[in-house]
Amino acid sequence: MTPLVDVRGLTFAYPQPERRGARAFGLADVTFAIAPGEVFGVIGPNSAGKTTLLRLLTRVLAPARGDIRLDGHPLAGLSHAEIARRVGVVPQDTPRPFPFTVEELVLMGRFPHGPARFFESPADREAARAAMAATGVEALGPLPFEHLGGGERQRALLARALAQRPRLLVLDEPTAHLDLRYQAETAALLRRVNREQGVGVLLVSHDLNLAAEVCDRLLLLGGGRVVRLGPPGEVLQPEALEAVFHCRVVVDKSPGSGRPVVQVAWPGEEGR
Amino acid sequence: MSPERRLASALVALAAVLVAVAGLALFVGSAGLSPVAVARALAGRADAESVESVVTLGLRLPRILVAAVAGGALAVAGVAFQGLTRNPLAEPSVLGISSGAAFGVVLAQIVGLGISPLEALGVTAFAFGGALLAAAAVYLVARVPGGLSIQTLLLAGVIVGIFFGSAITVLISIVDFNRLGGVVHWLLGNLAPLPPASLALFAVLAGVGVLVVLRHARELNLLALGEESAVQLGVDAERLKRRIFLGAALLTGAVVAFAGPIGFVGLIVPHALRGRLGQDHRLLVPTAALAGGVFLLAADTVARNVVAPAELSVGVITAFCGAPFFVYLLRTRYRPTL
């Protein structure tokens, strides 16, 4: 079976001097593959190169060396619209210089399916409506996006990505701005979308427990290199995590799912 | 209501208003013609050499057409620069781009280009070049990692505007003033009747600029989400930015060449439309083309009559409206949080 995403020997370095303020990190010889319908997590500390990987996979950046294939097609040979019909990105948040409504925002996800159209077709409207129903934001359609709360924004952006009818959904730190309730909701929503629509998921996060809970396999990045790749139980081992995160950790089992749960081993009073 | 229906009804309403305002403007003026005399001239029943014919058909009508084209072009340029910079306060004069174009026009006049249609095309080319130069300068000054900040962009626009304003003053000072007849009046933004051939050329150039922006209106919506998101949604952001940049510079250059650097139309009109139609560029661009004409025509009619028999420059009227409006937007809607 052709992998949905096939990454081989991916290497990238930002031009020096590095941009101050918005630092991003390079990658060295990264190789992995994502199967269709798989839920795949990329984890690692802040400087590991997770965001860089995401940008390379959506051709916002071009690799220095290595090969990325999407559905068997070399990524460099696909137009931006062709990529966007296969990969839908859910960003952490979206800049909003102009107060677009939720419905307008979700309809933007239909652009790659008819870039030459001036207005969306009835089929586009139906796809956007279905995507909004799938993430429970149908009733929010006429509201300005900026009036939504954090959890609602996330679901609206997820609806936009689903409106692209992608084969792979990429989520960038999906729980970064969310409290516990919305984190649980996001995890449940991702599982449901994956199951019902058969869409593959690439989760980029430093939330190890969310990744352990929803992902079939994990890729642990450290300093731009692959440290471990495999099922959560194999990747989330204390020695690998401590080497990457530079702190002591305790790995437990979740009483509910039996998946790993990672905690920082806080130093006691005498350790301070 | 679907966007298609909203656009259609807004365009019909604006076209009706434009015709009504244009009709009204035909009947008022310092010449003190009676409505009957104007109607007679319009109907072709007056002698071609009569005062009513000369004033109505030779002065008022062409001036009304210049105002409609210039206003529409400026409003669309405003929408384009706002979308391009993702800055709701961007506008050709605020960004200093009108000043760059004006510098080009003064340079063209020094080189000896006059007012025949062919020479007017050359003047527009100079204005276009000046607009591109100023826009590039603003971009280079304001660029920071991760894009353009709203405040820095506005400051860069002010600085570039001052620079080109000074450069114009230098040119005027070192060149025999008589060769630059009426340049001061023109610099304030002054609509004057154009001969038919020049007017047609102006309309074609403005039309090309509007079409360039209109064609990419849907992509401008996506660009508002940031370049990275726009690319991830399938937009060729580099090509889009280049085309909008050229289209908006052409609109600004053409208006400055044929009517002068008139400010704030590109700020007032798009914001009035955003309040009614929302943020969709597919609605804003075509409606701005008509609403800009309505606004500038109304402003020019005021400018022609408010201190009659003398005349104000229409740029004075738009600045009197635009400056407080800019402050209002800055203080209420666009706090430095973006």
Predicted model pTM: 0.90
What residue numbers bound the domain in which B69 lies?
3-332
Identify whether A236 is part of a domain: no
Same domain, A6 and A81: yes
pLDDT surpasses 80 at A95: no
Per-residue confidence at A51, pLDDT binned at 50, 70, 90?
Answer: confident
Average pLDDT of the residues in B163-180: 81
Could you tell me the pLDDT band of residue A24, with boundaries at 50, 70 and 90?
Answer: low
Residue A212 lies in a domain: yes
Q: Say yes or no to pLDDT of A87 above 80.
A: yes
Would you say residue A197 has pLDDT above 60? yes
Do A6 and A132 share a structural domain? Answer: no
Tell me which of A110, A142, A165 is where a domain ends.
A165
Q: Do A91 and B235 touch (CB under 8 A)?
A: no
- Cβ distance B228 to A85 less than 8 Å, yes or no, reads no
- pLDDT at site B294: 97
Helix (H), strand (E) at residue B148: strand B147-148
In-domain check, residue B338:
no
A5 and A34 belong to one structural domain: yes
Q: Which of residues 163-222 of A touch B (CB under 8 A)?
A: 164
According to DSSP, the β-strands at B147-148 and B143-144 are: antiparallel
Instruction: Give A174 or B185, the one with higher predicted confidence.
Output: A174
The arithmetic mean of pLDDT across residues B258-272, rounded, is 93
Say whether pLDDT at B15 is over 90. Answer: yes
**Distinct helix (H) and strand (E) counts, chain B:** 15, 2
For a pLDDT cut of 70, what percent of chain B falls above it?
94
Residue A269: inside a domain, yes or no? no
Q: Domain containing B67 — which CATH number?
A: 1.10.3470.10
Domain that holds residue A139: 94-165
Indicate whether A257 belongs to any domain.
no
Residue B2 has pLDDT above 90, yes or no: no
Q: Is position B312 within any domain?
A: yes
Same domain (yes/no): A13, A73: yes
For chain B, what is the mean pLDDT? 89
- Shortest CB distance from B225 goes to which of A82, A95, A115? A95
Helix (H, G, I), strand (E, B) or coil at B259: coil
Number of domains in chain B: 1
What is the rounded CA–CA span in Å between residue A230 and residue B10?
58
pLDDT of the residue at A70: 94
Residue B270 lies in a domain: yes
Residue A244 is assigned to a structural domain of this protein: no
The span from the first CA to the last CA of chain A, in angstroms, equals 53
Q: Does some domain include residue A249?
A: no
Structure confidence at residue B180 (pLDDT): 60
Smallest CA–CA separation between A203 and chain B, in Å?
16
d(CA B255, CA B69): 8
CB A44 within 8 A of CB A50: yes
Q: Calculate how close chain A gets to B15, using CA atoms only, in Å.
A: 21
A33 in B contact zone (CB under 8 Å): no
pLDDT tens sequence across A220-231: 998 889 999 999
The mean per-residue pLDDT over the stretch B70-98 comes to 93
Residues 6 or more apart whose Cβ sits within 8 Å of residue B17:
B294
Q: Does the pLDDT value for residue A20 go beyond 60?
A: no
Q: Tell me: the pLDDT tens digits for B191-245?
A: 888 888 899 999 999 999 999 999 999 999 999 888 899 999 999 998 999 899 9
Confidence bin at A21 (pLDDT 50/70/90): very low
Mean pLDDT of A89-109: 89
* CB contact A81 to B (< 8 Å): yes
Name the domain count of chain A.
Answer: 2
Q: Is there a domain that residue B337 lies in?
A: no
In a domain, residue A98? The reply is yes
Same-domain check for residues A105 and A211: no
A159 and A180 both lie in a single domain = no
Q: Is the pLDDT of residue B338 over 70?
A: no
Q: Domain check: are A82 and A197 in the same one? A: yes
The ipTM is 0.89
Judgement on whether residues A80 and A8 belong to the same structural domain of the protein: yes
Q: Is the pLDDT of residue A22 over 70?
A: no
Nearest beta carbon to residue B145 from set A19, A94, A100: A19
**Residue B254 domain flag:** yes
B2 contact residues in A (CB cutoff 8 A): 119
Range with top average pLDDT, A155-164, A177-186, B104-113: A155-164
Find the range with the poorest average confidence among A193-202, B34-43, B191-200, B329-338: B329-338
- Look at A270 and B76; give whichever has higher pLDDT: B76
Share of chain A above pLDDT 70, in %: 95
The stretch A98-122 carries a mean pLDDT of 94
Choice between A202 and A186, residue whose per-residue pLDDT is larger: A202
pLDDT of B335 strictly over 70: no
Residues A186, A221, single domain; the answer is yes
Q: How confident is the model at residue A126 (pLDDT cuts 50, 70, 90)?
A: very high
pLDDT of A149 reads 85
A127 and A54, same domain (yes or no): no
Is residue A123 located within the same domain as residue A195?
no
**For position A39, which CATH number holds?**
3.40.50.300
Residues A223 and A103 in one domain: no
User: How sure is the predictor about B306, in pLDDT bands with cuts at 50, 70 and 90?
Assistant: confident
